[in-house]
Structure 1
Amino acid sequence: MKLAQFLLLLLVLLPAAAIAAPADAHAPLSLIPEPATLTLRDGTFELRADTPLVAADPRAAQVARQFAGYVRRGRHVAPRFDGAGAGDAPAVEFRISPVGADASPEAYSLDVSPQRIVVSAGDPRGLFYGAVTLWQLATTSPDDGTPARIPALHIDDTPRFGWRGLMLDSARHFQSVDEIKQLLDAMARHKLNTFHWHLTDDQGWRLQIRKYPELTQVGGCRIPAGDGGIDPRTGKPVPYCGFYTQDQVREIVRYAGERHITVVPEIDIPGHAQAAVSTYPRLGSVEGPTPVSNEWGVHKYLFNAEEGTFAFLEDVMAEVIEMFPGRYVHIGGDEAVKDQWKASPRVQARMRELGVENEAQLQGYFVKRMADFLAAHDRRAIGWDEILEDDLPADAAVMSWRGIEGGTEAARRGHDVVMAPVSHLYFDYLQTGSPDEPPGRPLLIPLRKAYEFEPVPDALTPEQAHHILGLQANVWTEHMRSFERVEHAFFPRIAAVAETGWTPRARKDYAGFLARLPAQLDRYRHFGIAYARTPFEVRIEGTPRGEGAIDVALSQPVGLGTIRYTVDGSAPTAASPAYGAPLELQLPVEVQAVAFVDGRVLEAPTSRRFDAASLLQREDEALAMCSQGLMLRLEDDGPLEGRRAIFNADIFNPCWLWADAPLDGIAAVEVRAGRIPYYFQLAGDEGHRKFRPPHGAHGELELRDGCDGELLASVPLPAGPDADGFVTLLAPLPAGHPATADLCMVFTGDTRPTMWVVDRVALRP
């Protein structure tokens, strides 16, 4: 590498704080989020097991103990708490000192010299965040049993935004109290301070309300769709249940408060109400009972506008206020499809009684009623950006999810705003195109995209920009049966949110962030966090190139480190060849690859074997969709326990495509298909789903050359799959078929409430 290229690479990889230091001072400091200001000095402080932690103020002593606990997990070293003093010996002091009236309570300073470390702040919140920075400095290097060498420096730090949040959906899938605490711990170590807790929805009511116990007894349970809701031994339904008692909620709120996190509960109105209406049909807008939903998507059940319903909601809010001492209560307001209101004579009559002209104004009436009730009890309402569709109480805040436009409009109208756009901060969207991604929404929000989001729109004036409280990442858990999937969704993208929420805009730098990330991944491993490995694993893709040969391309989604590979069956080492261009290889061959950073393996190696047979077979993850109507990565409905198959499917146009399929010499196409429940409510989008007309009793598997091209083959579908949930179909190809085709696979007929999906395709010579 030429000297100029090396210097350019060095500038890209080092964070701004390290660049400002003398060239021989220190390695880059792996701090996330990057502090507002940092000045490196000469020397280092050695943090040992016998290093005393000093704090005169009891509030500072609590922070010192929290710091000791973090270091114990991160380096297996436990510095000792020594009370108010430690003489002249090297020590770490935690100090609460008076600061200016305009200082943020989350601000802190950190001074490190070879003899002493002093963390100081005017408030325990700032002192805690200073302790988090010091903990990160102590865990930058590997845990090899040696003392932590912390560089001498001075940091003055304060957050850019006051709302740095995460939202967790506990309604679709339920998490235990311990799992919630694990997430709160991780938030605190990222200096995130707001936990938005989505507790009610169509699929479950998760919060105990003592005045209405049936809300959790009935509304807290659903029967999962398909085999997932049936005990195979008895054939009886197996309900999916879960709720948090008020004592558990208070414990979570207390636990969050110790980590300087405010919990914002969400009780969704007037839509996403099916679990509540299932419990108490009198609250609904249509006649008759309805079950708690076991389907995903946009539902139509709305609360009605009767005074009895408002009395119910106010009773619920009264108990919510008792449990959650934070200022904000989230009232939802999103995706309230008005069909039931429009069709209900009683709702229409009620609208006339209330003097509202249309259904949008009726939703505005709901919002105002709830916001006024909360304001009367010293709380402040916040809702999704749909609440802007009618006049909004002056004190209500807006959470902008359908982009930044709602937040921009709200700020212009004088409302405070939290930016949480689906385009950048919906972390149930997948992170990479890897076949190893879990179920979810395959529209990608990779790490770079999450990092590059800017919460303050350029269109706002400085006065309007003051209404941007901050940002929040959201995780909706339709496809997250386990807490490990929740962690996969949040981490490491949570680190990007943390840096955007804390670090000054001018100091943000994605290349520097990536350089600091490997140390953060080590911290995740120390705390047992199941972060997403897929952004750091090497992808291995092969393209046939003539008889018996293949071109193999290696890539890594985040582009971090150096990819090294082997083709002899051995595991790659730091001495293995570095990848630079596609490899021209002879079949058969096994390729293994891994990324190295500073001589260390970033993530476990990946491997792939290529031979003549493998080139004639594809899993569904390697197939394209004929269109991009609504592509999802879906999980099978069984078995009841354990691992389930995962399928890619476009539920608007279920059609799978193998582009340029090599059909020369191929006699038949073998398709292994599964069948899963069609468990989606799509409201106004339902009519967009396409079906090809069937010709037989149960429909057919059709093979075409192109999605709307010539029919190559058609075989009848059975009434159902085999006992394992799959069926293998063999479709003979006609004589004279093309040597290469865009092989399109589609199942004819409307088979709802189930749907056929492709699992694997093989070309048979």
Structure 2
Amino acid sequence: MKKTIIQSFLVILLVILMGCGEESKTIFTENDISIVPKPLEMKFNQGAFRFTKDTKLVVDMDKAHVLEVLQNKFVSAAGWKLEVVETAPSRNFVLLSIDPSLAEEDYNLQVTDDQVIIKAQGYNGFLYGLETIRQLLPVAIESKSVVTNINWDIPNVEIKDSPRFKWRGFMLDVSRHFFDKNYVLATIDQLALLKMNTLHLHLVDDQGWRIEIKKYPKLTEVGGFRVDQEDKPWNARPTPDLGTKTTYGGFYTQEDIKEIVAYAESRGVTVVPEIEMPAHVMSAIAAYPELSCFQNPIMVPSGGVWPITEIYCAGKDSTFEFLENVLLEVMELFPSQYIHVGGDEATKTNWKICPDCKRRVAKEGLANVEELQSYFIQRMERFLSSKGRILLGWDEILEGGLAPGATVMSWRGVKGGLEASEAGHDVVMTPNSHCYFDYYQGDQDAEPLAWGGNLPLSKVYQFDPVVEGMSEEQAKHVLGGQANLWTEYVPTNDQAEYMTYPRLAALAEAVWSSKDNRNWDDFSNRVSSLFERYGAMGVNYAKSAYQVTTETSVNTENAVISIALKSEFPNADIRFTVDGSDITSASKKYTTPIDVKNTTTIKAQVFEDDLPVGALFEKTITYHKAVGKPVNYINKYHDSYQGAKELGMVNVVRGSKNFHDGQWQGWLGDDMELVIDMESPTEMEKISVGALENQGSGIYFPIQVEVFLSDDGKTFRSAGIVKRAYAANNGSELKDFLIETERQTARYLKVKATNLGTPPTGGGSWMFIDEVVVE
């Protein structure tokens, strides 16, 4: 009995001593797990695994390079390199185990107190399992310097994960603005973090040729540089005179490309090159004018070009010889199965009158120049197919007939994808509505200059490559989806990051996670952890999703304006003031809509942990005499832009530079004419009419605004007029057309705004109006 008691005491003592030597592990909850994109299946278990300097990484030595990212993270953040061994110890190890039953990119992850096991068929599966471990580790793992007093614990989980689509891509336009090799490598790192597997490099466009072709050195010597006009708006840069010195640009040497491709391969990413044809090639024609129909010497343009008429001549065999030689060098550098040839936005003016193109049309029995473009693409498709590659192009390659083996990238909405998949072609869905990251992602007044449009984080998250109207057979042809960052308005690395992140995370989940496993509220919670990770990595991510926006309604009976505040994230902690004072953590929390009965300045901001995040919202609600009054439209707004309909002109809600914000009423080529019934004789001395101009989108200020007053609604007298002649405007501008009259009393107010009608570029002009303010 005594011996048994002594033995028990010794066991207890040993346990106590062991406990003293090891600090207790982190106690996790399921809410601590914030993996993006969301895994297919996950089971949370109690307990944790701790990484220490003695943790072993177990894998066959020929596969050890897959561990590089995790090893490097611990070297930087913890100060020690985890040892790679081929035989597992009894505990404290990470084991990579081959499971041939899993699909190519699938992985299973099991974490217990003593070990971590990743099962996969091959390289990408192991890589994704390791990236999941990275996201389970504390955010400090992203630190570039050693972090002390931290436990490198991860929760015990069982994960089975598999991507929904095999094409999970991102396109970076390096032509309009050049991004150096190091930025491309950093982009690859971010793709790997989000389990994305395709980097599409837009290497050629009018404004720059970015890849060295040894057979044609002038492509980069001449085509890689342009006159520096970065101080001017993109679409207002004049055509430089021949011979002007070119200083802006750059290109990747073939050694650079080899390094990028190899680095991408180590991160599970395939690099797809895009060599544009037959249009968007003025940089090539500047270098070799004989490639065009009329061989006129040109400069590489410094900014926007439209229409694009200087394109490759489709009538000369020498054009195709040039392109085949270029593609031979490209294919040597890029092992990608797909070679992107562009094929978009070719204005065929020159083809219609070019003798060589006319001969080609006649010889091939083509009906028109659209079929000539089809001939062009089909000829290039046959060449690429003969080399074991697949031609990929924008959905314009459908025009005139699609090459038999081609794959379509559908960008002008989803129509191209529907059409191509119905014909049995594979498609990559990248509609500009959800995938164009050159669009604004928040209030334009708070965002850097962008192309236009509105693509907030939540809308990206709604993207689904399989669209309504697709049959099951068509859906099988959907390879996946892709985001595109066009860079006309993105001149720097910082701005490129701002436009890309976190929207890329939303798209990554849209193309990885199963459809029934996606939920915006859930993603909103998880993505905040990714924000912390971006911060630790020094990524200049956008906080636009935190911006406060408003929804306004008017009670027509008492003319009270009700203003609701919200952000993209549900249940956001919004603080606000209505007295002009600054926002602090002590400011009132928003819970219910704010009633406004007079002119009020509202300030609001989202808070997290009692600290402000995102941009400050500040707007003055001008409460005027016509609020909520009946409006009779003599000449009604267009069905496409109805604003708030009958209250649109008198609801005090002003439109933003985003003309899709739902506040603008639009007239296409027509004048606006309306009558406001003030309901009783009312004194007034100032009437202003709010308008928007965005000439790049076909929206022009009115050329005249006139106000009329009436006592009976039948006989009107002119109360004032303001005129504004058309003037070129390369920006987006808001303007109030103000008419000041001597103080007058009237019951009825007629406003007529005169549309420009036909702009210098031709076609019809939009006129956008948001409010008639009566004071």
Q: TM-score, normalised by structure 2?
A: 0.75
Partner of 2:427: 417
The 10-residue stretch of structure 1 (516-525 or 380-389) with the greater mean CA deviation from structure 2: 380-389
Partner of 2:98: 98
1:160 is aligned to 2:172: no
For 2:31 and 2:441, the matched residues in 1 are separated by 29
Partner of 1:128: 127
Deviations 1:55-110 (A, max 9, x none): 3323553333311434677xx44563122179868534141x3322x632322221
1:66 is aligned to 2:33: no
Residue 225 of structure 1, CA deviation: 8.4
Structure 1 726/517 Cα, relative in aligned 2: closer, same or farther at 3 Å?
closer
For 2:428 and 2:454, the matched residues in 1 are separated by 22
Residue 667 of structure 1, CA deviation: 5.4
Structure 1 286/585 Cα, relative in aligned 2: closer, same or farther at 3 Å?
same
Deviations 1:155-193 (A, max 9, x none): 122212111001111222222222222221111100001
Structure 1 124/717 Cα, relative in aligned 2: closer, same or farther at 3 Å?
same
Deviations 1:188-241 (A, max 9, x none): 1000010111111222222222222222233233344884669xxxxx987532
User: SS state of the match for residue 83, structure 1?
Assistant: strand
- Give yes or no for contact 2:422–2:474 (8 Å, CA) kept in 1: yes
Which of residues 326, 347, 367 in structure 2 aligns to 1:337? 347
For 1:608 and 1:113, the matched residues in 2 are separated by 50
Structure 1 611/564 Cα, relative in aligned 2: closer, same or farther at 3 Å?
closer
- Give yes or no for contact 1:592–1:608 (8 Å, CA) kept in 2: yes
- Give yes or no for contact 1:208–1:243 (8 Å, CA) kept in 2: yes
Partner of 2:573: 562
Deviations 1:225-271 (A, max 9, x none): 884669xxxxx987532322222222222221221111111111112
1:81 is aligned to 2:82: yes
| Superposition pairs of residues 68-467 of structure 1, within 5 angstroms | 68-70=71-73, 76-78=77-79, 80-84=81-85, 91-95=92-96, 97-100=97-100, 103-139=102-138, 145-223=149-227, 224=229, 227=232, 240-286=248-294, 288-293=296-301, 294-305=303-314, 306-457=316-467, 459-467=469-477
- Give yes or no for contact 1:196–1:264 (8 Å, CA) kept in 2: yes
User: SS state of the match for residue 30, structure 2?
Assistant: coil
- Give yes or no for contact 2:598–2:623 (8 Å, CA) kept in 1: no
Structure 1 91/656 Cα, relative in aligned 2: closer, same or farther at 3 Å?
farther
The 10-residue stretch of structure 1 (80-89 or 156-165) with the greater mean CA deviation from structure 2: 80-89
User: SS state of the match for residue 27, structure 1?
Assistant: helix
Deviations 1:701-730 (A, max 9, x none): 756689xx9894335779999xxx999998
Structure 1 705/330 Cα, relative in aligned 2: closer, same or farther at 3 Å?
farther
Deviations 1:31-75 (A, max 9, x none): 111112212222222345x352413323553333311434677xx
Deviations 1:11-37 (A, max 9, x none): xxxxxxxxxxxx995325211111122
- Give yes or no for contact 2:692–2:734 (8 Å, CA) kept in 1: yes
Number of aligned positions between the proteins:
689
Structure 1 751/467 Cα, relative in aligned 2: closer, same or farther at 3 Å?
closer
For 1:448 and 1:179, the matched residues in 2 are separated by 26
Structure 1 336/739 Cα, relative in aligned 2: closer, same or farther at 3 Å?
farther
Residue 149 of structure 1, CA deviation: 3.8
- Give yes or no for contact 2:602–2:621 (8 Å, CA) kept in 1: no
For 1:475 and 1:653, the matched residues in 2 are separated by 33
Which of residues 528, 531, 538 in structure 2 aligns to 1:528? 538
Residue 669 of structure 1, CA deviation: 6.9
Structure 1 459/737 Cα, relative in aligned 2: closer, same or farther at 3 Å?
same
Partner of 1:507: 517
Structure 1 450/610 Cα, relative in aligned 2: closer, same or farther at 3 Å?
closer
1:29 is aligned to 2:38: no
Partner of 2:492: 482
User: SS state of the match for residue 119, structure 1?
Assistant: strand
For structure 1, the 5+ residue unaligned runs are 1-22, 231-235, 617-625, 631-645, 683-687, 693-699
Residue 437 of structure 1, CA deviation: 2.3
Q: Which amino acid aligns with 2:178?
A: F
Q: Which amino acid aligns with 2:594?
A: L
For 1:521 and 1:424, the matched residues in 2 are separated by 21
Which of residues 44, 48, 70 in structure 2 aligns to 1:44? 48
Residue 272 of structure 1, CA deviation: 1.9
The 10-residue stretch of structure 1 (114-123 or 317-326) with the greater mean CA deviation from structure 2: 114-123
Aligned CA-pair RMSD? 4.9
Percent of aligned pairs with the same amino acid: 31
Q: Which amino acid aligns with 1:204?
A: G
Structure 1 158/542 Cα, relative in aligned 2: closer, same or farther at 3 Å?
closer
Deviations 1:466-492 (A, max 9, x none): 222111111222222223332232222
Residue 334 of structure 1, CA deviation: 1.7
User: SS state of the match for residue 184, structure 1?
Assistant: helix
Partner of 1:578: 589
Structure 1 219/733 Cα, relative in aligned 2: closer, same or farther at 3 Å?
farther
Structure 1 276/667 Cα, relative in aligned 2: closer, same or farther at 3 Å?
same
Residue 332 of structure 1, CA deviation: 1.1
